[in-house]
Chain A
Amino acid sequence: MTSVMSAVVPGQRLGHVQEYIAGPGTYSHQDFLYASVVGLKQVTTADGDERPTLSVARENTQTAIPEIDAIVTCKVVRVNPKFASVNIMVVDGKPCTDNFQGIIRSQDVRATEKDKVKIYNSFRPGDIVRAQVISLGDARSYYLSTALNELGVIYGTSIAGGTLVPISWQEMQCTKTKVIEPRKCAKPM
């Protein structure tokens, strides 16, 4: 059960730690819970919890940033024998205002026969790929994986410029010229 209450701003004191559990958009400091974003205060009571959860639903949503395990949609920028570089554009269905860089290493493309993966037969520049964040990676890039059935290329363009449609989990066909191109396809959910 969720009840929406008043609008709050960061720093506003919301309640005592003994009464509530700190939810998203809040933090606890000493004995009290405070809001950390602008939004509407919500109290959620779930069965089994001894205390209700206090959270603040953001009104002005912060731009999405990739987090571990998040499903992201990204565009392949360049490929080389070891990995594909991508721009992360959407995180958990929410577009991020600026791109974040990510890479899909050849061992993270699929779950089986990892050593036989050829990046060029999995992704091509311009492909739109659904992937999962597996680690925060190095200073520059997030590390992504497509080693699940529903992950992989979801939209691509053939060499001739036609749209590609998946015909198996590792092949796509151009709608214009019927040429078949290899890809690590995502299974439609």
Chain B
Amino acid sequence: MDRKRVAGPENAVAPLVEYPKDQLRWAPQQEHRHSSKRQPEDIRPIYLKTGLINQANGSAYIELERTKIACGVYGPRQKKASQLSSFSGKGTLNCEFKFATFSCQKRRHHIRDAQERELSQVLSQALAPAVRLELFPKSVVDVYVTVLENDGLAACLAAAITCASVALAHAGIEMLDLVAACSGSYMTVPRNALGQPQTDATTTAAGASRDEIWMDADLEEEKHEDGSIVLAYMPSLNQVTHVLQNGRAEGAVISQSVESCIEACNKIYAVMQHSLLESITNGKTQ
């Protein structure tokens, strides 16, 4: 029982969802990609804006269609007592990743769970190489990310990295480069029964299906994936800061996915640049 919140019923569960038999659910063979006319290499359109949290030193908000994430950056500020292990000549980057309770299909809990803790760590590992921590000894920069709506977990993590990196730059924290991130899903797309064979460049030996990499997969597509990759990348320095790969894929597919992610990150970088430069001009007019 959480006594610091308004108490609700215990053992509340989501109702069982029953799909009518005559109505087929989306599957990779039905149409190419879920609910959009995207090509495998296409990412969703990005809306990225800085400065929505006026109490924070820096902030950013990102939207990729349904995926919605807000990020606030505080610092550099004095380390809290719990973070005071010893004198350190370098600053600390502290990231906290949280899903809003209503952001996923199943209701999430208020208290941070293991998955959120893990994602916090990934976020921190992906961003830290880009931040010039040696310039603020004894201090900490706190990065807080809240997911308001999650439409694909890997895509969500990638968007969070992108968003947090823009928020850091917005806070005036010295960085080596921005960090753009993108996700890709390994899909096994069956050959269409009705026979509309698509380009056969990637057709596998089995002949019945093809392996494809779908960039920035949404939740429905993610349900059918064999695995996924999230790659964080510093575009101007051409350096990768983090790769998170899971599931099953051939080595060649993985190296191809890295290429595709880097390509997508370069597109995202343009959006990031644009939103930051926009913040300068907006700041000027105010």
Contact of B174 (CB < 8 Å), options: A9, A62, A99, A138: A62
CB pair A38–B87 under 8 Å, yes or no, is: no
Q: List, in ascending order, chain A residues with CB within 8 A of B262's CB.
A: none
Contact of A61 (CB < 8 Å), options: B74, B87, B172: B172
CB pair A63–B75 under 8 Å, yes or no, is: yes
A148 to B132, CA, bound (A): 34
Contact of A11 (CB < 8 Å), options: B75, B137, B235, B279: B235
Within 8 A of A (CB), among B240-286: 272-273, 276-277, 279-281, 283
Q: With an 8 A cutoff between CB atoms, is A139 at the interface? A: yes
CB pair A9–B169 under 8 Å, yes or no, is: yes
Q: With an 8 A cutoff between CB atoms, is B133 at the interface? A: no
B217 to chain A, nearest CB (A): 27
Residue of B88, B132, B276 with most chain A CB atoms under a 10 A cut-off: B276
CB pair B176–A136 under 8 Å, yes or no, is: no
Residue of A34, A37, A65, A100 with most chain B CB atoms under a 10 A cut-off: A65
Within 8 A of A (CB), among B175-213: 175-178
A62 to B171, CA, bound (A): 6
A169 to chain B, nearest CB (A): 31
Q: List, in ascending order, chain B residues with CB within 8 A of A62's CB.
A: 57, 76, 171-174
CB pair B86–A139 under 8 Å, yes or no, is: yes
Q: With an 8 A cutoff between CB atoms, is A116 at the interface? A: no
B52 to chain A, nearest CB (A): 14
Contact of B132 (CB < 8 Å), options: A13, A27, A138: A27
CB 8 Å contact bits of A1-44 with B (1 = contact, 0 = none): 00000010111110000000000010101000010111110000
**Can you pick out 24 interface pairs between chain A and chain B where the beta carbons lie within 8 Å of each other?**
A7-B281, A9-B273, A10-B174, A10-B175, A10-B177, A10-B178, A11-B234, A11-B236, A12-B236, A27-B174, A29-B176, A29-B237, A34-B177, A38-B279, A58-B172, A59-B280, A60-B169, A62-B76, A62-B174, A98-B75, A136-B138, A139-B86, A139-B88, A140-B84
Interface size of A in residues (CB-CB distance below 8 Å): 32
Q: Could you say which interface size class chain B belongs to?
A: 35 or more
A7 to B274, CA, bound (A): 11
B168, closest chain A residue (CB): A10
Q: List, in ascending order, chain A residues with CB within 8 A of B272's CB.
A: 9
CB pair B170–A60 under 8 Å, yes or no, is: yes
Q: List, in ascending order, chain A residues with CB within 8 A of B137's CB.
A: 136
CB pair A34–B236 under 8 Å, yes or no, is: yes
CB pair B177–A11 under 8 Å, yes or no, is: yes
Q: List, in ascending order, chain A residues with CB within 8 A of B235's CB.
A: 11
Q: List, in ascending order, chain A residues with CB within 8 A of B276's CB.
A: 9, 38
CB pair B178–A9 under 8 Å, yes or no, is: yes
CB pair B78–A101 under 8 Å, yes or no, is: yes
Q: With an 8 A cutoff between CB atoms, is A97 at the interface? A: yes
A178 to B85, CA, bound (A): 48
Q: List, in ascending order, chain A residues with CB within 8 A of B174's CB.
A: 10, 25, 27, 36-37, 62
CB pair A139–B283 under 8 Å, yes or no, is: no
Q: List, in ascending order, chain B residues with CB within 8 A of A139's CB.
A: 84-88, 138
B25 to chain A, nearest CB (A): 43
CB pair A40–B77 under 8 Å, yes or no, is: no
Q: List, in ascending order, chain B residues with CB within 8 A of A136's CB.
A: 87, 137-138
Which 6 A/B pairs are nearest by Cβ-Cβ distance?
A11-B177, A62-B172, A11-B236, A98-B77, A10-B175, A36-B174
Contact of B236 (CB < 8 Å), options: A13, A37, A63: A13
A183 to B5, CA, bound (A): 49
B195 to chain A, nearest CB (A): 48
A40 to B277, CA, bound (A): 10
A54 to chain B, nearest CB (A): 15
Contact of B175 (CB < 8 Å), options: A37, A63, A97: A37
CB pair A7–B176 under 8 Å, yes or no, is: no
CB pair A138–B139 under 8 Å, yes or no, is: no
CB 8 Å contact bits of B147-179 with A (1 = contact, 0 = none): 000000000000000000000011111111110
CB pair B279–A63 under 8 Å, yes or no, is: no
